[in-house]
Amino acid sequence: MNNFSSICVIGLGYIGLPTASLLGTKGYNVIGVDVSKNVIDTINRGEIHIVEPDLDILVKSAVNSGNFRAAASPAEADVFIIAVPTPFNDNHQPDLSYVEQATRKISPFVKPGNLVILESTSPVGTTDGCVAKILEAEGHDIINDVFIAHCPERVLPGRILIELIQNDRIVGGTTEKATQVASKFYQEFVSGQVLETNAKTAELSKLTENSFRDVNIAFANELSIICEDEQIDVWELIKLANRHPRVDILQPGPGVGGHCIAVDPWFIIDRAGEKAKLIRAAREVNDSKPLWIIDKVLDKASKFKRPSIACLGLAFKANVDDLRESPALNIVRALKEKDVANLLVCEPNIKTHPEFEIVDFQTAIKKADIVLILVDHKEFKSLSSASLIEKMVIDTRGITK
Ligand code: SAJ
């Protein structure tokens, strides 16, 4: 009954672009909408504006096939997918303005029988209270005519194209019928299982997944601080504890970055308030870890007149070029501000940075008095212990252990 042949994707970022180009290569007729003219022009040339393995090949092939084009405005389609950012404001309150704008933008093009999917990570109640509410206010029959569902994206940056297809997907409609229609759509191109629920449960499941990880990383970060006082190697400790069949602790680091794990728990805290004690404490532990690292570096630096510090990595995690919400970047920025050392900043995944000169990492190591390892990029893992002799090493990722 539901025939999905044309798709309109709103937002061509880390989720929207891979999704739109994947659907284009699967034979759907896809239009991708973005607010940036530069993004639209880049994609229509068959090129990409973000770094993700194999995404360039996928976009080129989808655009060349004629099935995928980018534009500034939406068009009529069978399925609308909203994949816009859901950041938070200064008080850690969710900013749903992009979701609101996207919904208003598609509204004139939505027809009876259409499916509208919100993929953006959203606070509980957004699919109903924002997307459905706006469409209803604009005259759509959201019970019988237009099917609205939340299907949170769950892909890991660096593995997006694989996980888009292979991950299980959670689909929650604002009505049972909407759940079924959305589920049928995802089953057309997902090889993982499509799990059906309601919109609110789908929203909270995504927030729960990222909060689980945040809480577990906070536990590891807290252990790392405790271990420092006890002069215990935290990485050895975790490795040993994880040999227990029911223990699986994640890894400590310089803090938690990216635009997901450090953000999504706040969407739970914002609604649950005092009830979300543990989730809030985990956020605070992870947010305070960069400050602890900065103090440690300043303490070591005070032992020199004006040391050279090789800062290895700016990205928010290994093997990506993404610097958003990166604890590594914030630590290097703070050290620059303190101005107690010459910084040799290395980031193999980017060529230039507006604030720092990017230095080749082998050269940086040679010149450095202090080596500060902030990201476990594959390039840094080849660091030989011989090259670190007579250097003071601060390894926030445990790669030299
Ligand atoms: N980190 C640690 N220790 C660890 C694991 C990660 O300090 O043991 C740090 C990383 O260095 C990084 C941050 O946490 O700064 C987040 O990295 P990540 O690889 O855990 O996750 P993201 O943000 O790249 O992607 C997450 C994923 N969620 C889960 O694994 C539950 C992904 O599946 C989601 O789609 C994505 O968030 C999202 O978009 O929400």
Would you say residue 1 has pLDDT above 60?
A: no
Tell me: the pLDDT tens digits for 28-50?
A: 999 999 999 999 999 999 999 88
Question: What's the token pair of residue 358?
Answer: 């990017």
Burial of residue 59 (CB within 10 Å: 0-12, 13-18, 19+) is buried
pLDDT of residue 231: 97
- Is there a contact between 317 and 244 (Cβ–Cβ < 8 Å)? no
Tell me: the pLDDT tens digits for 199-223?
A: 999 999 999 999 999 999 999 999 9
Atom 37, ligand 1: which residue's CA is nearest? 260
The full set of domain ranges for the chain reads 6-192, 207-395
* Overall pTM surpassing 0.75 (yes/no): yes
Tell me: the pLDDT tens digits for 91-116?
A: 999 999 999 999 999 999 999 999 99
Ligand 1 midpoint to CA 257 (Å): 8
Check for a shared fold between 6-192 and 207-395.
yes
* CB < 8 Å & 24+ apart, contacts of 321-326: 321/51, 321/349, 321/350, 322/51, 322/157, 322/258, 323/350, 324/257, 324/258, 324/259, 325/257, 325/258, 325/259, 325/262, 325/263, 326/257, 326/258
For the chain, the helix, strand and coil percentages under 3-state DSSP, each to the nearest 5: 45, 15, 40
Ligand 1 midpoint to CA 106 (Å): 31
Probe residue for ligand 1, chosen from 122, 260, 293 as the CB with the greatest number of ligand atoms within 8 Å: 260
- Is there a contact between 354 and 348 (Cβ–Cβ < 8 Å)? no
Atom 39, ligand 1: which residue's CA is nearest? 260
Ligand 1 midpoint to CA 183 (Å): 26
Q: How many CB atoms lie within 10 A of CB 276?
A: 18
Ligand 1 midpoint to CA 260 (Å): 7
Tell me: the pLDDT tens digits for 216-259?
A: 999 999 999 999 999 999 999 999 999 999 999 999 999 999 98
What is the dotted CATH code of the domain comprising 6-192? 3.40.50.720
Q: Which atom of ligand 1 is nearest to the CA of 397?
A: 7
Ligand 1 midpoint to CA 60 (Å): 28
The greatest distance separating any two alpha carbons of the chain, rounded to the nearest whole angstrom, comes to 75
Q: Which atom of ligand 1 is nearest to the CA of 14?
A: 39
pLDDT of residue 384: 87
Beta-carbon-side half-sphere exposure of residue 201 (alpha carbons within 13 Å):
11
Pocket of ligand 1 (CB under 6 A): 121, 153-157, 209-210, 213, 217, 250-251, 253, 256-258, 260-261, 316-317
- The catalytic site residues sit at 206, 260
Q: Residue 2: pLDDT band by 50, 70, 90 thresholds? A: low
Where do runs of H (alpha helix) occur along 45-96?
Answer: 55-64
Q: Does domain 207-395 have CATH number 3.40.50.620?
A: no
